[in-house]
Structure 1
Amino acid sequence: MTSLAGFALASLALVAVPGPNLVYIITRSVQDGRRAGLVSALGVETGTLVHCLLAVGGLAALVTDHPIALTVLRYAGAGYLAHLGVRTLLSRPAQAGDGPQQPARGRLLRVYGDAVLVNLLNPKVILFFLAFLPQFLPTGLSAAGTRARMLLLGAVFLAVALTLDLCYALLGAALTGRLRGTPRGRRWLSYAVGGVYLTLAALVFT
């Protein structure tokens, strides 16, 4: 139990460090409101679940055994962030008659899908499950016991990450709700969000 508590605290510290996942959640809630932020948090953690299952199945290890694969994944993630940035800058802000209403179902599905991809293309998450998580595995476990323990740790990490992500989504939506209520505010939020995506993508190449 103590090791689980320590793992939960370590997971909290890691999730709190800004990265593509956190930036995506905050920018979605800032630009599109609370519902989009919450959906993006669910999408990001769906990607985390996939990473966890791949690590348990041993498939993620194949990626880390080939440095070129991690490099490709890294640049693919940067490219996708750049795509999101350009798409945001070119998108037409909602008209004044639309008000600060929540996005339609189709837009929410795209927000969810983008969130999943942002996480899946984040090599740091793969490295987390292969380098950090095993440090909390007891010695002497059988293969089945190791997989079961990894699933348990993955569930703990998922719960911590989802809780924090939802908090960030709610906070981002609350702080910018008034800005989204005006055409000028929505336009400047689009510029800010697009700029954040492009800056984050550019950092990969520096």
Structure 2
Amino acid sequence: MKTRSFAVIGLGTFGSTVASELARFGNPVLGIDIEGRNVTRLAETLTEAVIADGKDELALKEAGVSGYDVAIVAIGEDLEANVLCTMNVKMLGVETIWVKALNRTHHRILTKLGADRVILPEQEIGQHIAQMLHNPLVRDYVSLGNGYHVVDFKVPDELDGKMVGKAAVFEKYSVRALGAMRDNQYLSCDEGDLTLRKDDKLLLLGKRADLRHFGDDLRDGN
């Protein structure tokens, strides 16, 4: 996989986490913040860390932002700074721009400005946690768009010893089993002949409502 370079502007809790993780994966990462203490904290973690104002296009240019593949605008509560920074990295010709939004209205503004991905971290994390709290069998999930999700589902007692292709609950809710992890082994469900065991980690594909009803039925012992 080709290594991409990242410029993270705004090194608060969200931005510093993103920047540190990207660096941990071995990517070149430039961190920028107007507060010196935030920059100093990550100076030894990132490829480069610079004190600069995201509202200042010239300062971002001098920091070398235009030479990075992706810019992540992670400026927090300052709406004006967030919007101006997004405009600046767009003007500098950064190919891909991800931006943290404060609310739905802000989300629409950033989309109009040409951001490739607008993130509402608190809302997205809240939805993620609520889904897992609602049904303890759901270990994790990811949205694929168009209403489809892939769910990491813990196999309960009700499916222990059942063959994927013959368990009626899969057909009832139009949910497709993609595969399962048993200990450290991946098991394919392509032929529908996999016999499940309790506590297998089952990857399920389906629409959100079908996956929710599927999980609710099994959680309630139906």
TM score, norm. by length of structure 2: 0.19
Using CA pairs below 8 Å that are at least 6 residues apart, which structure has the higher relative contact order?
1
- Greater strand share, 1 or 2? 2
In our comparison, the structure showing a higher alpha carbon Rg is 2
- Greater helix share, 1 or 2? 1
